[in-house]
């Protein structure tokens, strides 16, 4: 059991639409990060939340936004979808102060 659950597993959206991806972390994991992984590449850091506040952000435009909730769940919102947003989106969580992250299995987003 990975302890991190993502939904949905697969999603197809049309260019210009908006999407919300969800993540449920292990109890006590107060730090959650989101990553975008294109095919054949390493994950790219989107942003990180600690105790419901964003405390780190990668080189992604503002149309990528997120929320973290008190029940250790979080969501990634992407507005005005572009074809290049097609990727595997990964959620990862950890206990603040520890090093390693636990990843979910990801949501495969296809934008057509």
Partner 1 sequence: TQLLEQSPQFLSIQEGENLTVYCNSSSVFSSLQWYRQEPGEGPVLLVTVVTGGEVKKLKRLTFQFGDARKDSSLHITAAQPGDTGLYLCAGYTGTASKLTFGTGTRLQVTL
Among 66, 106, 109, 111, binds partner 1 (CB under 8 A): 106
Task: State phi, psi for 84 to the nearest 5 degrees.
Answer: -70, -10
Single residue of 3, 11, 22, 50 touching partner 1 by CB under 8 A? 50
Q: Does 44 bind partner 1 (CB under 8 A)?
A: yes
Q: Which residue in the set 14, 70, 83, 99 belongs to the binding site for partner 1 (CB under 8 A)?
A: 99
Burial class, 67, CB count within 10 angstroms (exposed 0-12 / middle 13-18 / buried 19+): middle
Q: How far apart are CA 44 and CA 12, in angstroms?
A: 21
DSSP helix/strand/coil, 58: coil
User: Where do contacts with partner 1 occur on this chain (CB under 8 A)?
Assistant: 2, 4, 33, 35, 40-45, 48, 50, 55-56, 58-59, 90, 92, 99-106
């Amino acid at each position: 059991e990975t302890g991190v659950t993502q939904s949905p597993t697969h999603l197809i959206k049309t260019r210009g639409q908006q999407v919300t991806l969800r993540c449920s972390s292990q109890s006590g994991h107060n730090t959650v990060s989101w990553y975008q992984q294109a095919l054949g590449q390493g994950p790219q850091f989107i942003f990180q939340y600690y105790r419901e506040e964003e405390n780190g952000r990668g080189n992604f435009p503002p149309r990528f936004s997120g929320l973290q909730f008190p029940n250790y769940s979080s969501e990634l919102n992407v507005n005005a979808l572009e074809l290049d947003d097609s990727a595997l989106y990964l959620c990862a969580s950890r206990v603040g102060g520890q090093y390693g992250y636990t990843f979910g299995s990801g949501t495969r987003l296809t934008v057509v």
